[in-house]
């Protein structure tokens, strides 16, 4: 099996080296590049062609969010997993809105790191329970209470349940098993959800549904 190629973007050498050491314990991953800021990362992407980018938020020259905006404007297909700390909830929410495929605390364990990368490669968003709790807590202070929904719900009951599962970090296969449908049908439901919410990713769907009061997690 060809290893997944990883680009690590963080201005701290110790963080980059630590992640590199962990990733190199598995033949499934290969670190193909390191960058100290978003600008360096953008210049490296075409050269190293990563499968996943591990991106810090706070960096000099160009932050992780700024880099993600540039990548989005260029329709870059490489999924981004944000590296975050315990005091960056607002930045983390902004990253979610930009389509980040996952969030990792910098002290995450090996299994969680690998699981997030594998999900990102599959095009899925993995939102751990602790990350979702922080997003929801931050939203309570930032977003006004949602207006009451109309008599005609935007999402069906099944679509809402599937999106709740996504917000809790469930994979399509796990949702399919839980609901009693095929994985292909789950993906069809997700496409309908995206169209109804006017988004194009799982993370954006969750964020939009939270803002509109559709999800109560």
pLDDT digits (tens, 9 = 90+) for 38-87: 999 999 999 999 999 999 988 999 999 999 999 989 989 899 999 887 66
- CATH for 148-211, among 3.40.50.970, 1.10.1060.10, 1.10.10.10, 3.40.50.10440? 1.10.10.10
On the question of pLDDT at 148 being above 50, the answer is no
Task: Give the residue range(s) of CATH 3.40.50.2300 domains in the chain.
Answer: 4-139
pLDDT score at 145: 45
Provide the CATH number for the domain formed by 4-139 in this structure.
Answer: 3.40.50.2300
On the question of pLDDT at 144 being above 80, the answer is no
pLDDT digits (tens, 9 = 90+) for 120-133: 888 777 666 566 66
- String of DSSP letters for 30-54: EEEEEESSHHHHHHHHHHH--SEEE
| Cα–Cα distance for residue pair 8/142, rounded to 1 Å | 31
């Amino acid at each position: 099996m060809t290893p997944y190629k990883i680009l690590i973007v963080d201005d701290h050498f110790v963080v980059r080296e630590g992640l590199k050491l962990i990733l190199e314990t598995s033949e499934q991953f290969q670190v193909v590049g390191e960058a100290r800021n978003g600008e360096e990362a953008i210049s490296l992407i075409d050269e190293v062609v990563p499968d996943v980018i591990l991106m810090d938020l706070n960096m000099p020259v160009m932050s992780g969010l700024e880099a993600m905006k540039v990548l989005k404007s260029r329709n870059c297909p490489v999924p981004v997993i944000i590296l975050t700390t315990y005091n960056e909830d607002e930045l983390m929410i902004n990253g979610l809105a930009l389509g980040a495929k996952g969030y990792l605390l910098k002290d995450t364990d090996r299994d969680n790191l690998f699981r997030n990368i594998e999900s990102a490669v599959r095009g899925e968003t993995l939102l751990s329970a602790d990350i979702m709790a922080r997003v929801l807590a931050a939203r309570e202070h930032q977003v006004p209470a949602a207006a009451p929904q109309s008599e005609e719900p935007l999402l069906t009951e099944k679509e809402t349940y599937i999106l709740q599962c996504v917000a809790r970090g469930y994979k399509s296969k796990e949702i399919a098993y839980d609901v009693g449908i095929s994985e292909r049908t789950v993906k069809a439901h997700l496409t309908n959800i995206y169209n109804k919410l006017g988004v194009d990713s799982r993370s954006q769907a969750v964020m939009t549904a939270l803002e509109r009061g559709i999800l109560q997690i």
